[in-house]
Chain A
Amino acid sequence: MRSLLKFTLTLLLLMPALPAGAAFSLESIEDRTPGEQYRQLSLLMLVTGGTDPAMLELLQPVIDAGDAGGSPAAGLSFDELVTPLVRIVDREILLAGAVEMFRFAYDNGAAIQDRLTEIARRNPILISMVDVNALAADAIIIREAIADSVEYTPSANEARAAERLAAFRNQTVYLRNMMEYNEFQEELTRITNQAIIDLGGRLDAYQRMFDEQIDEDLIQRRIDSAQIMNAQAEERFEGEAMLRNAELMMMLILMESQVH
């Protein structure tokens, strides 16, 4: 609910700014904080990543219209284009912006990467806190918006356009999978590390067994007690399981009785 509210507010604030934005350039973001510069450039790379200049062929009608003065000026700034809100702007404006963005990325790929490296080198702590997955999530939304818009844009060569669009969408799926893998890996590492920490305690206990004097009778009594407890625990779980089952059955009966 909070995110929906945030989304709506941002939308309202951003809408008037979209058509009047500045053109892409590295200079245009220099007044931003390093973290923001890093975020925007990363996002740009994620949106355009995995494509080649042939991607622009998909957008040729938009380019032609722009050259003929028949489409709105692109002029979207990073701020404007690299937000999920682009999906609700005018399709032609969006695609004009995409043309600029792809051109800019193709022409300045090396410079952008150098800038990213430089920012990271100068601000290691700040950049270490960048949430790459959040960036990827934004990039996926933008890529989807571009792909959806392209799909409804006439193309000179429909067969090739479909093929390229499919490739672009596949790259987006790949990006999503990478993002999900990162999240999965983070959670998995957390579980593994915790298990290893707990294991340390267990191995200490193992070591103590070698240290302690062994009283076999005492151990046998403990085993007997454990078995009693195990049996009791199983009975308890069985009871709870049956209770859940009864609830489920009741729900099913009620659902059946609602038919008609």
Chain B
Amino acid sequence: MLTPEKIVIGLVLVLLALFTAGCAGTASGTKSSAFSGDGGVSVTDFSLTKADALVVIRYPAIIHADAEEPYFHAFSINAIGGEVPPVNRTKKVTQRIAQSVIAKSNYYVMSLYRELQRDLPEDTVLLSPHIVLWDRERGLYSRPILATEQIPSVLTIDFSVYSFPDPTELMESPPVTFGDLVTPLFVLHGNRWTQPATHGLFLASEPMLQAAWDQSKTSADRNRSSRLKYGAPPWQRELDFIHFLTGRDRDSEGLPLKGLDEARGELMAVEVYPVEKIRMPGPLLQDLASDYSRDPFVEAFVRGAAGSIKLMLNRIDHDRATFFARQQALARFDPELAVAFLARAEGESVRARLQLAEALIEAERRFIGVQSVGLFEGAYQGDYGNKMREMIQGEYRLLEERRDLARKQNMTTAVAALALAGSVYAASASGAVSGVAMQTFGGALMLGSLWAMSSTMEMRAESAEMSENFLALIAPALERQISVQMEWLESKERISALGFAEFRNKTLTLYQARIRSLKGVFEDDCEFEHPGFTVTGRWYGSCRGGRGHGRGYGVIEDAAGNSAEYLGEAEYGLASGTGALILKRRERLGASYFEGGFAAGRPHGVVRVEEPGERPRVREFLGGKDVGSASENKLEPLVF
């Protein structure tokens, strides 16, 4: 009978046989990341609002028990760096690698958080941990645990690390995160209006390009639709990594792409971040468990990536980037003001109420900022971080031993090292501790225990009905009983029941008690038209005779999937005056953006044009017809 131990030993023997045969491959990884950003860049925020965050970092944090099997399955089917043979997909070792991706993402993301948080203003870098879920209707998906993504943010990062699911293929040098080797996956996106030509997608890891593009497009479509059908709930973007896992054969052909850092800000295309297996500096890993004053992941990857993000923050118009996210945030608790905001209404009554509302969002940002610090302390500086460092150090030492051995025996170092990684996962998966690779190594066991802890956290979450409050998820049941729960947990400390939900209740009560009525009429259902559409859209803002007239926002969409969004001045339902228009044609990837003068619904006068894959240009228009180039000095940009 085949016992797990026999399987492991067999697997290890197979691997040993393979690397003694001298298969090709490399485990050296790249010592410097493709991100070449300067970590010393300082960010200047000229934004008119203090409510918004600069960066939100999303990552997979925990997984629900029901989602484990679908996640393992998706992970093995949609592999990066090769195809996993069907026979290997259901192996326990593949599951263990899938688990390690979540466990290690939880740890490595903190390096990125710390680096950005250190250089950017306090509480402007926020963490958004996601829980991976499954249900019959939606399949595998993720949702945020905290309310972080309700805070308007200039940029959003999706971060995770990755390991190829099949250890038997590791000799072919697919991506892996083990010991000193880390393969980060990275997506950088923002609101659609930040870069309409790419639906707000700035950068993505190569394998995830199409998944990230789909997500950004869906986000743009759903947000537009929710404004067209007033009151429809806004769409929640799941993690791009999870979305990637749930789809096969995503082809990014035809997407407007460019190289990393290439013509940044000039070419309306998505930067492609290649999959890179980064090798962290060995001396910093040798005693990582006891000395982590210098973070090896920061040295190898994060500093460059953070520098690149900061450069991007300097390039982006923050008010334009967060305009619609702020509008959504306002709509959550003050729909009347949200409409006045869309109309960019002036007047003291709007200004004063907006000031109060933005103070409320700013307070929420502060609260979530502190929650993020708490997560960092728990996952990086606390026991979790210590265990992860012990594990990474153990993995590294073992790899180094194997590299030495390989060198002595004149084998391909890489093969030896990566085969070892596979065998460690395999041994861990089977529970074997007597396998060749496991004799001196306890790291995999730690990984197992971390996973067990994560599963337990998930179990606690079941009764919390996925509240927005992180603590409500990982510790107690419902909000109002948290103090009782803490007593049950035999804590000496009594925790008062003031989580995010109650905090929000209190601040909203305060807000509602203090606001005054708005002067002016801001309608949310007037008619908006565009010469290229036969249907009528919806206009928010000032109206005359039931049609958009004055400042406001118009949205229109036809049955074929074409759409237009306009923010600015209008006359009798048509864009007229200064404004910005996003035009999306079904047959085209991305969208076209026009900003400047308009008349009778068409660009008119000096207009800035942004189109997918092209450089932005300033042109002179006459009744919608491009009649030649124009000087940027003559452009009247829209003030968001």
Do A and B associate with each other? yes
Contact with B along A46-80 (1 / 0, CB 8 A): 00000000000000000000000000000000000
Q: Are A191 and B363 in contact (CB under 8 A)?
A: yes
Tell me if A248 is interfacial: C-beta within 8 Å of chain B: no
> How many whole Å from A227's CB to the nearest CB in chain B?
6
Q: Are B495 and A198 in contact (CB under 8 A)?
A: yes
Please give, as numbers and ranges, the residues of chain A lying within 8 Å of B459 by CB-CB distance: 216, 219-220, 223
Q: Are B496 and A201 in contact (CB under 8 A)?
A: yes
**A22-B303 Cα distance, complex, nearest whole Å:** 68
Tell me if B46 is interfacial: C-beta within 8 Å of chain A: no
Tell me if A204 is interfacial: C-beta within 8 Å of chain B: yes
Tell me if A238 is interfacial: C-beta within 8 Å of chain B: no
Contact with B along A191-229 (1 / 0, CB 8 A): 110111011111111111111101010011011011101
Please give, as numbers and ranges, the residues of chain B lying within 8 Å of A194 by CB-CB distance: 498
Tell me if B383 is interfacial: C-beta within 8 Å of chain A: yes
Tell me if A25 is interfacial: C-beta within 8 Å of chain B: no
Contact with A along B457-471 (1 / 0, CB 8 A): 101101100000011
- With beta carbons under 8 angstroms apart, the residue of B352, B382, B488, B496 that contacts A222 is B488
Nearest residue (CB) in B for A176 is B352
Q: Are B456 and A214 in contact (CB under 8 A)?
A: yes
> How many whole Å from B87's CB to the nearest CB in chain A?
33
Q: Are B453 and A210 in contact (CB under 8 A)?
A: yes
Looking at chain A's contact residues, is the secondary structure mostly helix, strand, loop, or mixed?
Answer: helix
Please give, as numbers and ranges, the residues of chain B lying within 8 Å of A174 by CB-CB distance: 348, 352
**A180-B378 Cα distance, complex, nearest whole Å:** 39
- With beta carbons under 8 angstroms apart, the residue of A170, A177, A206, A230 that contacts B471 is A206
Contact with A along B180-208 (1 / 0, CB 8 A): 00000000000000000000000000000
Interface residues of B in 339-373 (CB under 8 A from A): 348, 351-352, 355-356, 359-360, 363, 366-367, 370-371
Q: Are A198 and B498 in contact (CB under 8 A)?
A: yes
> How many whole Å from B452's CB to the nearest CB in chain A?
8
**A47-B311 Cα distance, complex, nearest whole Å:** 46
Nearest residue (CB) in B for A180 is B514
**A100-B482 Cα distance, complex, nearest whole Å:** 62
**A126-B477 Cα distance, complex, nearest whole Å:** 49
Q: Are A180 and B352 in contact (CB under 8 A)?
A: yes
Tell me if B92 is interfacial: C-beta within 8 Å of chain A: no
Range of interface residues on chain A?
A: 35 or more
Q: Are B496 and A198 in contact (CB under 8 A)?
A: yes
Contact with A along B199-228 (1 / 0, CB 8 A): 000000000000000000000000000000
Q: Are A223 and B463 in contact (CB under 8 A)?
A: yes
B-binding segment of A36-44, A83-91, A133-141, A182-190: A182-190
Please give, as numbers and ranges, the residues of chain A lying within 8 Å of B503 by CB-CB distance: 191-192, 195
Contact flag A188-B359 (CB < 8 Å), given A198-B496, A207-B382, A223-B460: yes
Q: Which residues of A contact B (CB under 8 A)?
A: 170, 173-174, 177, 180-181, 183-185, 187-189, 191-192, 194-196, 198-212, 214, 216, 219-220, 222-223, 225-227, 229-230, 233
Q: Which residues of B contact A (CB under 8 A)?
A: 348, 351-352, 355-356, 359-360, 363, 366-367, 370-371, 374, 377-378, 382-384, 452-453, 456-457, 459-460, 462-463, 470-471, 474-478, 480-482, 484-486, 488-489, 491, 493, 495-496, 498-499, 502-503, 506-507, 510-511, 514
Question: What are 9 A-B residue pairs whose CB atoms fall within 8 Å in the complex?
Answer: A180-B514, A184-B359, A187-B510, A188-B363, A192-B363, A199-B371, A202-B495, A214-B453, A223-B463
